[in-house]
Structure 1
Amino acid sequence: MTAQAASGPARRARSDRRNRQRGLKRFLPRTLFGRSILIIVTPVILAQAVATWIFYDRHWDTVTNRLAFGVAGDIAMVIAMLEHNPTPEGREWVLATTARSTDLIVTLEPGTPLPETKPPLRGLLERTLGKALEERVGRPFAINTRVAREWYEIRVQMAEGTLSVMSPERRLFTPTSYIFILWMIGSAAVLFAVAIVFMRNQIRPIKRLAAAADALGKGRDVVNFKMEGATEVRQAAAAFLQMRERIQRQITQRTEMLAGVSHDLRTPLTRMRLAIDMLGEGPEVEELMTDVSEMEAMIEGYLAFARGEGTEAVQPADLTRILNEAAAGARRDGTEVHLSVEPSMTLPLRPNAMRRCIANLLVNAGRHATTAWISASRQDGMIEILVDDDGPGIPANMREEVFKPFFRLDSSRNRETGGSGLGMTIARDVVRSHGGDITLDDSPFGGLRVVIRLPV
Structure 2
Amino acid sequence: MKLTALRRLLPSAPPARDDAAAVAPWRRWLHPGTPSLLKRLAPRGLMGRSLLIIVTPLVITQVVAAIIFYDRHWDTMLRRLTGGIAGEIAMISDMLRREPDPLEREWLLATAHLRLGLDVSLSPGDILPNEPPAAAGGQMAEALAHAMESRVQRPFVIDTDSIDDRVEIRVQLSDGVLTVLAPRKRLFSSTTYIFVMWMVGTSMLLMGIATIFMRNQVRSVRKLAATANSFGKGRDVPRLKEEGAREVRQASHAFNLMRDRISRQIEQRTEMLAGVSHDLRTPLTRMKLQIAMMNGDDEDIAALREDVEEMERMLADYLAFARGEGTESTEPADLSGLLQDVVGRYRREGYAVDLHLEEDITLPLKRRAMERSVSNLIGNACRYGSHVAVRAGLRGETAVLLIDDDGPGIPADKREQVFKAFFRLESSRNPKTGGSGLGLTIARDIVRGHGGEITLADSPLGGLRVVVELPL
Q: TM-score, normalised by structure 1?
A: 0.93
1:221 and 2:236 are equivalent in the alignment: yes
Using the aligned pairs only, state the percent identity. Answer: 53
1:106 and 2:120 are equivalent in the alignment: yes
Contact 1:259–1:306 (Cα < 8 Å) also in 2: no
Measure the CA separation in 2 of the matches of 1:425 and 1:204.
Answer: 38
Q: Which residue of 1 aligns with 2:136?
A: 121
Question: Aligned-pair distance for 1:146?
Answer: 3.1
The residue identity in structure 2 corresponding to 1:358 is: V
Measure the CA separation in 1 of the matches of 2:28 and 2:441.
Answer: 45
Contact 1:385–1:451 (Cα < 8 Å) also in 2: yes
Q: Which residue of 2 aligns with 1:76?
A: 90
Measure the CA separation in 2 of the matches of 1:264 and 1:143.
Answer: 110
The residue identity in structure 2 corresponding to 1:111 is: G
Contact 2:43–2:49 (Cα < 8 Å) also in 1: yes
Question: Aligned-pair distance for 1:414?
Answer: 8.3
Question: Aligned-pair distance for 1:254?
Answer: 2.4
Change (3 A) 1:13 1:258: farther
1:274 and 2:272 are equivalent in the alignment: no
The residue identity in structure 2 corresponding to 1:32 is: L
Q: CA offsets, 1:259-305, max 9 Å, x none?
A: 32233222222233333342532444443333222211111112322
- Report the count of equivalent residues: 453
Measure the CA separation in 1 of the matches of 2:120 and 2:45.
Answer: 65
1:134 and 2:168 are equivalent in the alignment: no
| Equivalent position to 1:53, from 67, 71, 76 | 67
| Equivalent position to 2:257, from 242, 248, 257 | 242
Contact 1:72–1:137 (Cα < 8 Å) also in 2: yes
Change (3 A) 1:300 1:8: same
The residue identity in structure 1 corresponding to 2:282 is: T
Where does the alignment leave 5 or more consecutive residues of structure 1 unmatched?
A: none
Task: Kindly report which structure 2 residues correspond to 1:19-418, keeping only aligned pairs within 5 A, or say none.
Answer: 19-117=33-131, 120-223=135-238, 225-277=240-292, 278=294, 280-413=296-429, 417-418=433-434
Q: Which residue of 2 aligns with 1:7?
A: 5
Structure 1 counterpart SS, 2:282: helix
Change (3 A) 1:37 1:77: same
Change (3 A) 1:81 1:66: same
Compare 307-316 and 180-189 and name the one that shifted more.
307-316
Measure the CA separation in 1 of the matches of 2:91 and 2:431.
Answer: 113
Measure the CA separation in 1 of the matches of 2:187 and 2:113.
Answer: 17
The residue identity in structure 2 corresponding to 1:136 is: R
Structure 1 counterpart SS, 2:319: helix
Question: Aligned-pair distance for 1:321?
Answer: 0.3
Q: CA offsets, 1:289-325, max 9 Å, x none?
A: 3322221111111232244321111111110000011
Change (3 A) 1:414 1:401: farther
Question: Aligned-pair distance for 1:8?
Answer: 5.8
Question: Aligned-pair distance for 1:15?
Answer: 9.5
Measure the CA separation in 1 of the matches of 2:416 and 2:125.
Answer: 105
Contact 1:297–1:418 (Cα < 8 Å) also in 2: no
Contact 2:239–2:256 (Cα < 8 Å) also in 1: no
Change (3 A) 1:76 1:14: closer
Measure the CA separation in 1 of the matches of 2:433 and 2:287.
Answer: 21
Q: Which residue of 1 aligns with 2:455?
A: 439
Measure the CA separation in 2 of the matches of 1:447 and 1:131.
Answer: 93
Measure the CA separation in 2 of the matches of 1:450 and 1:328.
Answer: 19
RMSD: 2.2
Contact 2:424–2:436 (Cα < 8 Å) also in 1: no
The residue identity in structure 1 corresponding to 2:78 is: T
Contact 1:67–1:171 (Cα < 8 Å) also in 2: yes
Compare 209-218 and 331-340 and name the one that shifted more.
331-340
Question: Aligned-pair distance for 1:18?
Answer: 4.2
Question: Aligned-pair distance for 1:224?
Answer: 5.5
Structure 1 counterpart SS, 2:401: strand
Question: Aligned-pair distance for 1:16?
Answer: 4.5
Change (3 A) 1:396 1:416: farther
Contact 2:355–2:390 (Cα < 8 Å) also in 1: yes
